[in-house]
Amino acid sequence: MKLTHLDEHDRPKMVDVSAKEASTRIAVASGIIEMSRDAYDAIVNEKAAKGPVMQTAVIAAIMGSKKTSELIPMCHPLNLSSIHCDIEELPQLPGFKMYVRAKLSGRTGVEMEALTGVGIGLLTIYDMVKAIDKAMVIRQIQLESKEGGKSGNYQRQHQKT
């Protein structure tokens, strides 16, 4: 299998997308942060010493999505048209599940932007309550769906537990 980020001499390269047709591309990613009950309660009751955790994590996720090409070497700088972030409370864990939806009209996909946004958003939650719980676990950062582009649409099939 030929890797697209290597040239004919196996040197790293950024893929040339100039011949691709521009189309609307959307990607949704998610991830989970699991924590102690004390950390969870501090967040939902807005009692964290560093300020409003959820709002800060959403801003961080948006910023992370926008900065993806500066963090991941072969990603193209993209002119994103929309980034939307949701955080679902998971009191049974306890923890949170973050979703990031990235959108653009362009020649390359936005999966990495959605995934990076989730990672940065969850790391921000960790940073803001690590004084309460250093044992938090970030897991299951994954692509949920993508639309557009040559490879077509993708939808993660969730398994029933």
DSSP letters for the chain: ---TTB-TTS-B-----TTSPPEEEEEEEEEEEE--HHHHHHHHTT--TTS-HHHHHHHHHHHHHHTHHHHSTTPPP---SEEEEEEEEETTTTEEEEEEEEEEEESS--HHHHHHHHHHHHHHHHHHHTTT-TT-EEEEEEEEEEE-STT--EE--PPP-
Average pLDDT over residues 2-16: 73
Domain ranges of the chain: 37-149
Active-site residue (options: 7, 10, 86, 127): 127
pLDDT for res 2 = 62
State the fold for domain 37-149: Alpha-Beta Plaits (3.30.70)
pLDDT of residue 40: 98
pLDDT > 70? residue 42: yes
Task: For residue range 101-146, list pLDDT tens digits in order.
Answer: 999 998 888 999 999 999 999 999 999 999 999 999 999 999 999 9
Highest mean pLDDT among 1-10, 14-23, 30-39: 30-39
Q: Among this protein's residues, is 7 annotated catalytic?
A: no
161 pLDDT more than 50? no
